[in-house]
Amino acid sequence: MKPFTENITKKSEKCKEEKSSEVKVESGQAKRISRGFIRAQNRNKKTRQIVPKNSLIVAMDLGRGEHCAWMCTTEKEPLDKIKISNNPHGIDEMLDRAEEVKKQNNLGKIVIAMEPTGHYWMNVAEYLTQNNYEYVLVHTVSVKREKEIACYRNAKSDFRDAEAIANLVSERKITYTQLPKDPLWAGLKASAKEYYLTEVNLISEGMRVASFMERVYPDYQSIFKDITKYTALACVLSLDHINGYEQMEFLAYARSHFTNRTSINKMKDFHTMVTSPGQWGCRTYEDGLCMPIKHAADRYKIALHQHEEAAQKLLSYYEQTGYAEYANSFTSLSSIFHASVLALIGDPQKYDSNRCILKFAGLDIKENQSGDYKGKTTIARRGDPLLRYVAYLGGFVLSQHDPLWEEKFLYYTNRIMRPLKKNQAFVALGCKYLRIIWTLCKNHVYYDPVKAEKGNDYHRTIA
């Protein structure tokens, strides 16, 4: 634990020196310019370029059958409203009306804004991009709060929602999210989501199979430790034939599900257990649950095949990104882990700081203070929940299988000042993992465990 305490002390002293050196003198007074202040300035400039002062804002409230559009200036002056159908003809009608309003009021750029609810915005955004129109997105939480502020109640109507979106854009409260322009990154993200969706299905169906089996054949646990392994799953898939077949016929039928992946001896023991009278279990449900058990096992087998297929597709896209070589140098976690992180954050080159990754995942620290009061801080949880889950899982795995990360975990949980709970320590390790992966891919460097432990300024002596 000592190297980590020394490392943290050195980093804190270095940060103090950097902050004290970043000083600008104006009218005889010292003014500190922090990195956060510079980032806020750059963000303000960027939003003003996206939404110039003399713009026509066209805010859309999207629906399955039709959309509602509210047009106003950046001063929130209403100009027009229109309801259109959800198809290219309706979008063209809205764009023609926007061009007319723009000419009538001598306005400049047309800014089309939407709330990214559901999947309807993706088709609209793609069509706008094909027709050389820019679009911006507004956070759903901001729209909900804006309606409450404007009306003092959570009133809802199509044009009211569109007006709330327009007001937020006029105040430049927008996000920088856009549809991926590269099919590679779009396919990578879709494959990652499918991979974890099938993983959830595997867990749920596996628990269902185990629950059914424990109700009817609880003694199976003396034969199979895990009911979802190939041999056990093959036996469960063959339950409807177990009473009508002899032992050798049952073995041949069961082995057909997973060729060369099954144990014959365990299959024999399972057949003997099921066919023997007086076995422990609620046998009154044996006939009724035979079909549900088999169906649950069938669903597990399908989900297993889909899971493997999604993993192969994910790794295929991952190898094409050009970052696999550097991310895989961090050997404490598998390639599928690194591929998932890259899929969810997108191209690392579009982030100028590792803090952006943490904020995108909702792992940034939420302030909790007022005056002299300073309360406990938590993570914001305003970000991609799947990326947050992958980071947490990565921190947990690293704390169990990597000695350096296990030492870091022990330091977090046993330090004198503000010790962390286990889950908090897993989150902290997950944040460190995200920062390391971003650094490796951003700078095209290989993982160095000593540098990760000691910091960038640590120089190893070569004997």
pLDDT in tens, 132-170: 999 999 988 888 888 888 777 666 777 888 999 999 999
For 166, other C-beta atoms within 10 Å of its C-beta total: 29
With bands split at pLDDT 50, 70 and 90, how would you rate the model's confidence at 31?
A: low
Query: Whole-angstrom Cα distance, residue 81 to residue 436?
Result: 49
Instruction: Give the pairing of strands 110-114 and 56-61.
Output: parallel
Model pLDDT for residues 410-462, shown as the tens digit of each residue: 999 999 988 999 999 999 999 999 999 999 999 999 998 887 777 665 544 44
Contact 61, 94 (CB under 8 A): no
Mean pLDDT of 102-115: 92
Query: Residues near 62 by Cβ (< 8 Å), separated by ≥ 6?
Result: 86, 114, 115, 117, 118, 120, 121, 124
Mean pLDDT of 181-197: 93
Helices (runs of H) and strands (runs of E) counted in the chain: 18, 11
SS3 366: strand
With bands split at pLDDT 50, 70 and 90, how would you rate the model's confidence at 342?
A: very high
Sign of CA dihedral 329, 331, 336, 339: negative
Query: Residues near 46 by Cβ (< 8 Å), separated by ≥ 6?
Result: 176
Query: Whole-angstrom Cα distance, residue 226 to residue 73?
Result: 63
DSSP 172: T
Q: Does residue 338 surpass a pLDDT of 60?
A: yes
Q: Does residue 260 surpass a pLDDT of 50?
A: yes
Taking the C-alpha atoms of 92, 93, 96 and 102 in order, what is their torsion angle to the nearest 10 degrees? -120
Q: What is the pLDDT of residue 19?
A: 45
Q: What is the pLDDT of residue 327?
A: 95
Contact 111, 59 (CB under 8 A): no
C-alpha separations of 181 from 1, 41, 68, 185 in Å: 45, 27, 27, 8
Q: What is the pLDDT of residue 314?
A: 96
Q: What is the pLDDT of residue 165?
A: 93
What are the structural domain ranges in the chain?
51-170, 186-317, 323-454
Contact 124, 66 (CB under 8 A): no
Query: Mean pLDDT over all residues of the chain?
Result: 84
C-alpha separations of 188 from 7, 125, 329 in Å: 36, 20, 20
Closest listed residue to residue 209, CA positions, set 99, 268, 124, 297: 297
Decide which of 358 and 461 is more confident. Answer: 358
Query: Environment class of residue 405 by beta-carbon count within 10 Å: exposed (0-12), middle (13-18) or buried (19+)?
Result: buried
C-alpha separations of 179 from 18, 176, 188 in Å: 37, 10, 13
Q: What is the pLDDT of residue 288?
A: 61
Q: Does residue 95 surpass a pLDDT of 90?
A: yes
Q: What is the pLDDT of residue 27?
A: 44
- The distance in angstroms from the start CA to the end CA of the chain is 25
Mean pLDDT is lowest, of 242-246, 304-308, 340-344, for 242-246
Model pLDDT for residues 203-259, shown as the tens digit of each residue: 998 888 888 877 777 777 778 888 888 888 887 888 776 666 777 877 777 777 776
Query: Whole-angstrom Cα distance, residue 2 to residue 14?
Result: 18
Length of the chain: 463
CATH number of 51-170: 3.30.420.40
Tell me the sheet residues that pair with 175: 137
C-alpha separations of 23 from 11, 27, 37, 42 in Å: 20, 13, 12, 19
Query: Whole-angstrom Cα distance, residue 411 to residue 421?
Result: 11
